[in-house]
Amino acid sequence: MNDFVTLIITVLILGFQYFLSLRNSVYWGGIIPAITVLVMAYLVITGKSDLLRSLLITGVGLLFMAAEWRRGREELQKKKNKELNKMRTQDL
């Protein structure tokens, strides 16, 4: 696969991960990491990828996805606090 296409796919996946982490339920942010682990396990089991390379790619990928998840959860919390402050201001 072309390096540019790989980069675009990676950016799209991380963007979708961030989008899912903005949902009210915490569990939405776990969908893409779970799919990543399952795909990499499948590739190792079928012999299409070696174990060390798959572990490295999965580990680094999960770190980036966890960072996007955390950033999305913080943004959601800021939005909720902003809305709550707006409601409190209107009550006064």
Residues 33-84 pLDDT 10s = 999 999 999 999 999 988 998 899 899 999 999 998 999 999 999 999 999 9
CA separation for the pair 14, 34 (Å, rounded): 14
Q: How far apart are CA 40 and CA 38, in angstroms?
A: 6
pTM of the model: 0.79
